[in-house]
Amino acid sequence: MLMTFDISSVQRFADNLAGLQTDCNGEGMVCSDLDEKIRCQSNVCVQLLNAIRSWAREVFTGRIESDPAVETLFRQEIGRVLSDAIPLVRFANNVKSPGFVLEHLDGLAEAVSNLERMTNPWVSPGKSISPAPRMAPTEEADKQIRERISELPPLPEGWEPNDPRQLRRFKNRPNS
């Protein structure tokens, strides 16, 4: 898993994924059957998804700056990983039968679908702007917020929201 998102760390991560994927493709000794190959490819896809989501979250929260080189590398990795994973999903769907169970196929198909959705259309992450919070309030601020909320007058008797979705939540709220 990536701890930092500088270009050299992301490149090492990508190289590691390429090595794992090489093993998945039967060029190493790791994969002995189709389901193992599917499990291996699924693992590669999930690792890539998790890394991209973590990177985007770090950019969004303002913990790191967006680096176009890192973004380009991630997009290239998605293309490279999908170029092996998509044909494998198609092949596995064609050969599966009631007596031939591919335990990891659904996981790979889901991971491929998530990667494809992430890229079509690709949305570059950006730093959040107000009013989205970027950090938890301090203890003092939290106390002040709670005090101000407790001082608010109650809603008028019989008041209900106009929006049907809000009304549904309003009527199903927990009694606390």
Q: Is position 69 within any domain?
A: yes
Number of domains the chain contains: 1
In this structure, what token pair is assigned to residue 52? 């991209």
Q: Is position 87 within any domain?
A: yes
Q: Is position 88 within any domain?
A: yes
Segment 63-112, tens digit of pLDDT? 899 999 999 999 999 999 999 999 999 998 888 777 777 888 999 999 99
Q: What is the pTM of this model?
A: 0.69
Q: Provide the residue range defining the domain that includes 20.
A: 7-119
Distances from the Cα of 8 to the Cαs of 4, 67, 75, in angstroms?
9, 12, 16
pLDDT value for 170? 82
Segment 129-152, tens digit of pLDDT? 766 566 777 899 889 999 999 999
pLDDT value for 24? 79
DSSP-based three-state secondary structure for 158: coil
Euclidean distance between CA atoms 16 and 10, whole angstroms: 10
Q: Is position 172 within any domain?
A: no
At 166, is the pLDDT very low, low, confident or very high (cuts 50, 70, 90)?
confident
Q: Is position 57 within any domain?
A: yes
First to last CA, the chain: 40
Q: Is position 145 within any domain?
A: no
pLDDT value for 31? 43
Q: Is position 51 within any domain?
A: yes
pLDDT value for 115? 95
**Quick one: DSSP state of residue 156?**
P
Start-end of H helices in the chain: 7-24, 34-60, 68-95, 105-119, 139-150, 164-171
Q: Is position 109 within any domain?
A: yes
